[in-house]
Amino acid sequence: MAAPGKVAAFRLPPLPTIGEIIKLFRLKALKQLSQNFLLDLRLTDKIVKQAGELKNAHVCEVGPGPGGITRSILSAGVEQLLLIEKDARFIPGLQILSEAAPGRVRIVHGDILTYKMEKAFPKHLKKSWEDEPPDIHIIGNLPFSVSTPLIIKWLENVSKRDGPFIYGRTQMTLTFQKEVGERLTANPGSNQRSRLSIMAQHLCTVENCFIIPGQAFVPKPEVDVSVVHFTPLVQPKIQQPFELVEKVVQSVFQFRRKYCFRGIETLFPENGRLKRTEQLMMTADVDPTLRPFQLSMSQFRNLCNAYRKMCDEDPSLFVFNYREELRQKKKTRSLLGSTGQPEQTEEENHL
């Protein structure tokens, strides 16, 4: 019995185990959807704990599958739980959980990549971007095939303050392949430093919480899994449009083992490429002989700011596409025949 004046904590009634749900509905992980089930409720509790205080919060769980993490979220005392599941086979098992928590669960059969998150939560939960994060959380054991495109999409939403971030600085607790988790949190000089490192860390505080060994999943994946927590920053470390930052960062990491100026060159058309590359590197005050993974966040900020200034002076620069230039050169070669034409460079072959 609850103490006087206190609301009793929510408890799920006795339910079939996750293993029993899988047997009952004959659920099988589909390799083509890179599905892996997490059956150990101690681990699902640990994932949910990384999200922070969830009592009376509103939560969206992405890809709940048979509902292991779902149970841990409900046990944390959330007010509302939105489940977005693409695979219709899991819906009946999730409905059992919905019936066990009346009025708390809403199930959507749909694809998270296309679902409109702007209307996922009540309007009264909205907070100013400068305030503390709202009582809204996104949690998910993401299929490996969708994790990277999804986090890039959500980082763009963070930059534009739309999608699930229309409510404020919504926090996310998500799983990734261990290697992707290392990239998301890698520091300058680390071999794992990559485009993902810059795109995530310039917009969010990113924490690699803990590693789940592969053998904890059914079926066992070939890799271990990282649990990563994201909290959007009040001010991004690079204050430029998402598309511009992504273009610069992607270009720099085109040739991650070469000097960084080689990637920077791909921002500019062949005519005047060297001169403009030198101009950008000098304006940004970046050593052209550093490798991409050695560059600090402030150096990326300087590169983006300098590139923005050059684009303002020549708007055609931003729409320039290096790969398209290579395609056109290759087409010209094939039309003229290979005789007397220079062979493709190593970089061209790489791209």
Q: Is 87 annotated as a binding residue?
A: no
The response to whether 305 counts as a known ligand-binding position is no
Q: Is 285 left (phi over 0), alpha (psi -120 to 50) or beta?
A: left
Q: Would you say 68 is a known binding-site residue? A: no
The tally of CA atoms less than 13 A away on the side-chain side of residue 300 is: 32
Reduced to 3 states, what is the DSSP secondary structure of residue 87?
Answer: coil
Under 8 Å CB-to-CB from 339, ≥6 apart: which residues?
none
Residues 254, 198 contacting (CB under 8 angstroms): no
* Angular region, 255: left φ>0, alpha ψ -120 to 50, beta rest: beta
85 assigned binding-site residue = yes
Q: Is residue 61 within 8 Å of 34, Cβ to Cβ?
A: no
36 assigned to a ligand binding site:
yes
Does residue 111 have a known ligand-binding role?
A: yes
Q: Which residue has the tokens 């449009």?
A: 241
Instruction: List Cβ neighbours of 67 (8 Å cut-off, separation of 6 or more).
Output: 18, 21, 90, 93, 94, 96, 97
313 burial (CB, 10 Å; 0-12 / 13-18 / 19+) is: exposed
Which parts are annotated binding residues?
36, 38, 63, 85, 111, 141
Which parts are annotated binding residues for S-adenosyl-L-methionine?
36, 38, 63, 85, 111, 141
